[in-house]
Amino acid sequence: MIVDSIVGIAGKVLDKFVGDKDLKTKLQAELQKELIGLDMAQAQANVESAKSSHLFVSGARPAIMWICALGLFTNFFLMPIAEWITTIWLPDVILPELKTDELMSLTLSLLGLGGMRSWEKSRGVARENLK
């Protein structure tokens, strides 16, 4: 779980800078509480976005996810089969090489932007006029 890995890394940092074990335990618990709160805020943001009646709000995230899913499906499932088929029956045909850099950037951005928005909401600095 990501929360556990972040708390583990933070624990190593705390070991170096905080000598008091009780304070270190308290800080780790507080960090874990904040990270779980961010996860909950992200889940709530996803629910509110999905409830929207505006297609550009409720449909944008699923559209991007489908684009990413289709791109990954093409790159990691269809293209290997197509390469196998062309190697056997059409050896003169050269298939285009798909570049996954942009696809992976889009996928990772999609996953990361939700986290940034949740962090903003948890801190009370998110814009509310994006409706």
Instruction: Give domain status of residue 30, yes or no.
Output: yes
pTM of the model: 0.46
Predicted confidence (pLDDT) per residue in 84-105, tens digit:
999 999 999 998 888 888 888 8
Instruction: Give domain status of residue 128, yes or no.
Output: no
User: The domain containing residue 90 runs over which residues?
Assistant: 2-123
State both tokens at 128.
Answer: 């509310």
Instruction: Give domain status of residue 88, yes or no.
Output: yes
Domain count along the chain: 1
Instruction: Give domain status of residue 131, yes or no.
Output: no
Instruction: Give domain status of residue 130, yes or no.
Output: no
Predicted confidence (pLDDT) per residue in 18-70, tens digit:
666 777 777 777 877 877 777 787 777 777 777 777 776 667 777 888 888 89
How far apart CA 51 and CA 43 sit, in angstroms, is 13
Tally Cβ neighbours within 10 Å of residue 87.
Answer: 11
